[in-house]
Structure 1
Amino acid sequence: MLFILYNGDNGTGTVHINKMNRMIFALSILLGAIRVQDCDAYRILFIGPVGTRSHKNYFSSIIDGLVMNNHHVTFITPFPSASVKANVKEVVVPEGDFSKFNLNLFDEKFSVSAATVDKYYSMCDETVQKPQVQSLLEEKFDVALLSAICSECYFSLIHKFQIPFISVLPLDLLAETGSSVGNPIFSSFQAHPFLDFDHPFTFWQRINSVLWDTMSLLYMLNIYQDVEQRCRASGICPEDMPSIYDMTRKVSMIFINSIPVLQKPVRPLVPAVLPIGGIHCQPPKQLPQDLQEWVEGSGEDGIIYFSLGSIVKPSTLPEKNRLMFIKVFGSLKQRVLWKWDKESMPDLPPNVLLRKWVPQQDILGHEKLRLFISQSGLFSTQESLYHGKPVLSLPVYADQLSNARSVERQGWGKVIIWEEMTEEMLFDKINSIINNEEMKERVQEKSHLMKDQPLSTKSLMVYWTEYVVRHGGAAHLRCPLVDLPWYKVYNLDVWLTLVAVTVILLWLIVRLFLAIISCLCRRVKRKLD
C-alpha cells in the first residue's frame, strides 16, 4: 500500500510535500518495487544434463534471458562455467559430455548409429542418479525447462515436483517432438533435418520423407520403453509416474531452434511451439589483445576462420585432408585462424594460427573476417548468418549436410564433400567465395531478415516461460491432435466411408442400368418373336 501525505495547497495548485513525506514516498516506491520483484521471480529448473558445449551455449543464452528478468535458475549441465552468474546455480554432471566417448565422426559421416544413441541415453541414466541431482528433490521449483536431447529419464524429477515443463530443442522441430503438442506433420514438404531434400520434393523423396518420419516416431516409442524400463528398475521413477510416452504429452510448450522468416518453405506451427532460433547470437565484443593484433595485422586481405565445431574432434581429421588444408592455406593471401585441439601441428604455414578455443562470435563479427570454413552445425550456421559472413561448408555429421545444402541454395555459401575434396577444389571455392560480391550482398540481406523482428527472441522466450507458470501449464494451448488417433487426424475413416459409399452407389447405378438394359432387351425380343 502506497501512502502520500497531503500537506496542503499554497493557492497556486502546487502540492507541498515536506522532507519527511518525500522520504516516506521514496521508501514506499522502493518497498513496492521489491514486493513486485519477489512476486514475479520464479524458481526455474533447467535440465540440460547431456550434450555438447554448443548445446550449453544455446541453453545459457536462454538462462541469461530468464536471469535478466529476475528469475532464479538451477542448471543441470555437464560443463561448469568459468565464472559464477548471479541467480544461477549450476549442478555439474560431467558424465553427460558427449565428447567423452571420443567418437571419430569422420567414420560415421552424416549418420547417428543406434549404438551411439544408446550411449547418449546411458549418460542420462548415469547423471540423474548422481547425489547432487537427487538432492534437488529437497527444493521447490515453479517450472522446468527440459532439453529434448536424450533427457527423458529426468521426467522422474518433473513428476516428483509436480510442475509444468517446457521442452527445449536445439534443432528445428522434429516429427517425433512436434507430435507431443499436436503439431501436424507434413512430410510432403518438410523433411527431417537429417535428410538433404529441397522443396518441392519428388515423388520418391516424399516416400522417403514419410517413411523417415514414421520410422522416427516408432523408434522414439521404442526408446521411451527402454528408458522407462531402466528408470523403473533402478527405482528412480516412482511407481505412480505415468509412462515416459504419456509424460511427453504433458509438455506445456516446445522451444525450437528455428527462424521462421528464413524457412523455405514456411512450416505451420501450433501456439505451443515457439521458434527461438538465433537466441544465442550476440553482437561481437573486443578480441583478446594478442588475437586482436594478429587479426589487425592481416591488412586488407583479412582473415579466414576454420572450425569444425564442438562435437567433431579436429585431430581425427584424415591425414590426407589435413595435408590439403596445410598446402592450400599456405598459398592464400589471407591469414587463417584454425581451431585445433592440440598445441601444435607439423608443417604449419606462417600465415596460420592454431587456437584450442576461439571467441567465435567475436571473430565472425570482426570486419577483417572474409570467410568462415565450417562444419555447418545449426548453431554455427545461425551465427555466421547473424554476423553476415559467407560460409564454405564441410559437413561431417547428422544434420550438417542438410544445413550446408540449405546455405548453398540460399546463395551465401558453398559445399565441399570430404570424399570429393581436392587441393584445386578447396583453393578455388575459397577464392570464389571471398571474391564474390553478390554472395556478400546475399548474406547481408539474410542477416537483416534475421534481425528484423518485432520483439527480441529472448523477450518472447521469457514471456512464454512466465506465461506457462502463470497459467498452471497453459493447457489451453494444447492442440486436440494430441489426443486423436492418427486415422482421425487425417480423416482416414471419413475418406474410407466416402469411398465405400461412392463405390456402392456406383455399383447400384451400374446394376440398375444393366437391369434396365436387360429389361428393354427382353421386350424387344418378345416383339420380334
Structure 2
Amino acid sequence: MRIFGKMATVVAMSVVVMTLMVVQENNAARILMAVPIGSKSHGNFYMPLAEELARRNHTVTYVTGYEMSSSHPNIRVVVVPDVNIYEKMPNLFTTDTFTAMDAIYDDLKEVCIKALAFEAVQRLNDEKFDLLILCAALTECFLSFAHKLKVPFIYIYSNKFVGAYAALAGSPPFPSLEANFALDLEYPLTFTGRMMSTAQDLFDVLFNDWLG
C-alpha cells in the first residue's frame, strides 16, 4: 500500500506541475515592442524590459534601429536600417537643445514612416500579437498595428515623461520640479525657471494636439 501511496503522490505532483506549465503557457502573451527611434543607449532601458517579459514566458518581437542581442529564446530582434537620426545631432555639450533638434527636424518627420515601411516590419502585419508596446516619441504610425489587430498598447519612454509625451501616456508631469529638457535650465530651479518649464510643457501639449 505504501508503494501505491508513493506512486499516487508522484502522479499527483506530476499533474500539478503539468497544470502549472499549461496555465503559464496559456497566460503568455505575444508582444510587439516597437522602439526603432532613439539613441543606442535607449536600448539599455528597453531591452531589459523585453527580457523581463520574456522571462515571464511572454514572446517579444523587438523592433529597433540598432543591432541588439539577447540570449533569451523568446525575444526576436528586428533591426530597421537608416533610422539612426541622432547620429546627425550636434554635440549637446556645445549646442543648445533647440539648435540640435532643428538639425534633425526633417528626419524626425519621416523616420516613423520609414521604419514602418521596412519590409521586415511590414511582414509583422501577417502575425498575431496580444499587446503593443511603443516608445512615446515619434512612433505614432505604429499605432496602425493596434488599429488592425484590435489590441491594447502601452507607451514607454527612456527619459522622463514631459509635455506632450506625458499627456499621451497618461502620466502626470511635474515641470516645476523636473525641468523640460528642451530648455537647458540649471538646478536648483528658480521661480522663473519653474514657470518657463511649466509653460513649455503646456506649449508641447497644445502643439502636439494641433499636429494631431
TM, length-normalised to structure 1: 0.36
Aligned mate of 1:29, from 4, 10, 16: 16
Counting only pairs closer than 5 Å after superposition, residues 343-492 of structure 1 correspond to structure 2 as: none
Q: Distance in 2 between matches of 1:81 and 1:206?
A: 38
CA RMSD, 1 decimal: 2.6
Cα 1:133/1:183, change in 2 over 3 Å:
closer
Q: Deviations along 1:332-378, whole A, 9 cap, x unmatched?
A: xxxxxxxxxxxxxxxxxxxxxxxxxxxxxxxxxxxxxxxxxxxxxxx
Matched, 1:69 2:41: no
Contact 1:77–1:96 (Cα < 8 Å) also in 2: no
Report the CA distance between 1:55 and its aligned residue.
0.8
TM-superposed CA distance for 1:186, in Å, is 5.0
2:110 is matched by which residue type in structure 1?
A: S
Maintained 8 Å contact 1:47/1:147: yes
Superposition map of 1:64-463 within 5 A? 64-82=51-69, 84-101=71-88, 103-105=89-91, 108-111=95-98, 112-180=100-168, 182-184=170-172, 186-195=174-183, 196-198=185-187, 201-202=190-191, 204-222=192-210, 225=211, 245=212
CA contact (8 A) 1:128 1:154 kept: yes
Give CA deviations for 1:299-320 in whole Å, capped at 9, x if unaligned: xxxxxxxxxxxxxxxxxxxxxx
Which amino acid is the alignment partner of residue 207 of structure 2?
A: Y
Aligned residues: 209
Determine if contact 1:124/1:153 at 8 Å carries over to the other structure.
yes
Contact 2:51 2:72 in 1 (8 A): no
Q: Percent identity?
A: 26
In 1, Cα distance between the equivalents of 2:9 and 2:173?
Answer: 61
Aligned to 1:42: 29
In the alignment, the residues of structure 2 paired with residue 97 and residue 140 of structure 1 have an alpha-carbon distance, to the nearest angstrom, of 28
Q: SS at 1:166's partner residue?
A: strand
CA distance in 1, matches of 2:96, 2:189: 26
Deviation at 1:139?
A: 1.3
SS at match of 2:61: strand
Query: In structure 1, what is the equivalent of residue 45 of structure 2?
Result: 58
TM-score between both structures, scaled by the size of structure 2: 0.84
| Pairwise CA distance, 1:104 | 3.3
Q: Which runs of 5+ in 1 are unaligned?
A: 1-6, 8-14, 226-244, 246-529
User: 1: distance between equivalents of 2:164 and 2:59?
Assistant: 31
Question: CA–CA distance in 2 between the matches of 1:218 and 1:212?
Answer: 10
Report 1 or 2 for greater relative contact order, CA contacts < 8 Å, sequence distance ≥ 6.
Answer: 2
Q: How far apart, in 2, do the equivalents of 1:108 and 1:190 lie?
A: 21
Counterparts in 2 of 1:62 and 1:187: CA distance versus 1, 3 Å: closer
Check whether the contact 1:50–1:150 (CA below 8 A) recurs between aligned residues. Answer: yes
TM-superposed deviation, 1:76: 0.5
Cα 1:123–1:188 change in 2 (3 A) is closer
Matches of 1:56 and 1:186, distance apart in 2: 25
> What are the ranges of 5 or more consecutive residues in structure 2 without an aligned counterpart?
none
Cα displacement (A) at 1:21: 2.4
**1:234-277 deviation digits (Å, cap 9, x = unpaired):** xxxxxxxxxxx4xxxxxxxxxxxxxxxxxxxxxxxxxxxxxxxx
Residue identity in the other structure for 1:36: V
1:90-122, CA deviations, whole angstroms, 9 ceiling, x for partnerless residues?
111022223453x43266334343341331341
Whether the 8 Å CA contact 1:144–1:165 is kept in 2: the answer is yes
The answer to whether the Cα contact below 8 Å between 1:67 and 1:87 also exists between their aligned partners in 2 is: yes
2: distance between equivalents of 1:187 and 1:58?
22
